Structure 1
Amino acid sequence: MTGSGSMEMISRRIQEKHPGTKVYNVNRFESWSSLETMWHQVLEIGQDVANISSQYPDGINLIGYSQGGLVARGIVQTFPNVSVSTFISLSSPQAGQYGAGFLHVVFPGLVKESAYELFYSRVGQHTSVGNYWKDPYHQSLYETYSVYLPFINNHIKSAKSDDFKANLLRLKRLVLIGGPDDNVITPWQSSQFGYYGVNDTVIEMYNQEIYVNDSIGLRTLDKSGRLHVVTVPGVNHFSWHVNVSIVDDYLLQYLD
């Protein structure tokens, strides 16, 4: 629900610390348009990123915050002509979302227990949030209706499954940043591909099917030293991208 202005601090700090670095801050799908479907955002912003990438054949760094990190991963996996060296996911619901920390802003009165009734419908799938809502108690509906997350996670196989994995494996570095005090991404471990199992217990990424089966290449990236999992306590969701120390301590070291 924010826009490119919220990422200006990161942009400025990178340029201060890495003089001469060209930073592109995408300004599409700001405010209410951020609710447009994930595939639409991936394809539109992806074309922008592809145009930028074409100027830098040696590779670019891609940073995505919150929902933007899930859009960015979709771009990496979907566009074979986008050359990304490092992808940094900053507090993004990579394994899905099952929490009402932000729902009241967009869907007043909606609670997580009944949100599936909206999101797992053809109407609900016309919203970005619906595209990555993953209710652990209604998995069959998730698999039936969700048109985005189960596909880019290769939970549901498609004609693009092999490409989704191959394209992610082209990364030199995948950085997953999140923390226990986020209070919006739910569970917070979703930012690192962890998610709920039974009885609201969280299963860490390393024991998740997506890692064990190497569905999109996470295990391969990990075993080759290209997967970096960064946990930072004490950071609220709305502070990650406006906190200078987060940029200095956890982002800059990964930028080429």
Structure 2
Amino acid sequence: MGSCAIVVLIFAVLLQNAWCDVSPTPIVMWHGMGDSCCFPFSLGAIKDKLIDSIPGLYVHSLQIGDNIIEDVENGYLMHPDKQIKLACELIQNDTQLANGYNAIGFSQGGQFLRGLVQRCPNPPMKNLISVGGQHQGVYGLPNCATVAATVCDYIRKLLNYAAYEEWVQNGLVQATYWHDPLNPEEYKNGSTFLADINNEREISQDYVKNLQSLEHFVLIKFDDDTVVQPVETEWFGFYKPGQSVETQSLEESDLYKNDLLGLKGMNESGKLKFLSTPGNHLKFQWDWFAENVLEPYLK
């Protein structure tokens, strides 16, 4: 074998070894209302599925609080601003996430992770997968929980009458993304979280820049969702202003037409992805998720 061929062979071996040593991009997960980071029947099971599907994968499932009980409670009672600040600290202190990560948010965890990428750009989030997230908020909470039905019934009544009262905004997470289409100005002035991250009061160019830094922003809608009202919010749609019957798509909204978040450019460049699947809220088949989400965006 000539010296040139030996050099080529050595280079090929080194390249192959370097390729094999590359670890998969870590994943951060954020659970939804009434759930926790680590229940074996919810995010714990999904974490196991991800690790089985991507050898060597590191998954950080966010726990907001000192234990699982606090994590569940904080999903109802700790303002999203505080939760996002804590999540940012957890991620920045996790050395395995230092070079960036992908993120999967389930239900309200979807909009919380979007708030995170807009407010906490380092380390960088690469791909954001929103699984049933409510990015234009909600107006109604039917079938809102099976685990804590009494709590949810109280929340529903409270939101219907006093969503934008300061004490409700400060003490109830779901009030911060309650979006009353009948009173749009009251919503913009009173919403302490959603109206901010949607740039509906003051335009933050940092929010726009940080969101546009994503490689992909994947929005998953559940076609038979009876939990989220309206279901179009999972694709950034919502009710047309002034009523609560007819809905409009993201492209028809002022959020898109006025390009408040830079979503128009993301959509035109192919960064914004719209996926849908049959089933009720958060009820998806793993084979569907693996084919449509894991393979193209997480591997």
Same fold (TM over 0.5): yes
Partner of residue 238, structure 2: 195
The answer as to 2:35 corresponding to 1:2 is yes
- d(CA) in 2 for partners of 1:199, 1:49: 38
* Secondary structure of the structure 2 residue equivalent to 1:231: strand
Contact 1:53/1:60, CA 8 A, preserved across alignment: no
Residue 246 of structure 1 and its aligned partner are, at CA, apart by: 4.2
The equivalent of 2:49 in structure 1 is 13
CA contact (8 A) 2:51 2:57 kept: yes
Structure 1 residues 1-256: aligned runs within 5 Å: 1-4=34-37, 5=39, 6-28=42-64, 30-35=71-76, 36-52=78-94, 55-57=97-99, 59-101=100-142, 102=144, 105-108=150-153, 111=156, 115-126=159-170, 127-157=172-202, 161-197=204-240, 198-233=243-278, 235-240=279-284, 243-253=285-295, 254-256=297-299
Q: Is the 8 A contact 2:164 2:191 kept in 1?
A: yes
Contact 1:53 1:82 in 2 (8 A): no
What is the alpha-carbon distance in structure 2 between the residues aligned to residue 11 and residue 228 of structure 1? 23
1:190 and 1:205 map into 2 onto residues whose CA distance is 9
Partner secondary structure for residue 60 of structure 2: coil
Q: Which runs of 4+ in 1 moved over 4 A?
A: 109-112
Count matched residues.
249
What is the letter of the counterpart of residue 73 of structure 1? R
Say which one has the larger Rg: 2
The answer as to whether partners of 1:28 and 1:45 remain within 8 angstroms in 2 is yes
Contact 1:62–1:87 (Cα < 8 Å) also in 2: yes
Relative to 1, partners in 2 of residues 1:202 and 1:44: Cα closer, same or farther, differing over 3 Å? same
Q: Which has the higher contact order (CA 8 A, sep 6+)?
A: 1
CA distance in 2 between counterparts of 1:61 and 1:134 reads 28
CA drift of 1:98 comes to: 0.8
Name the SS for the 2:43 alignment partner: helix
State the distance in 2 between where 1:53 and 1:76 align: 18
One-letter amino acid of the counterpart of residue 194, structure 2:
L
Residue deviations 1:204-241, cap 9 Å, x none? 111111122221111111111111100112x211424x
List alignment gaps of at least 5 residues for structure 2: 1-33, 66-70
- Please say if residues 13 and 247 of structure 1, whose CA atoms lie closer than 8 Å, have aligned partners that are also in contact: no
Q: In angstroms, what is the RMSD of aligned CA positions?
A: 2.0
The alignment-based identity, stated in percent, is 28
* Aligned-residue offset at 1:145: 1.3
> Residue 2 of structure 1 aligns to which amino acid in structure 2?
D
**What is the TM-score when the length of structure 1 is the normalising length?**
0.90
Q: Call closer, same or farther: CA 1:61–1:228 in 2, change over 3 Å.
A: same
CA-CA distance at 1:7 after TM superposition: 0.8
- Deviation at 1:105? 4.3
Q: Where does the alignment leave 5 or more consecutive residues of structure 1 unmatched?
A: none
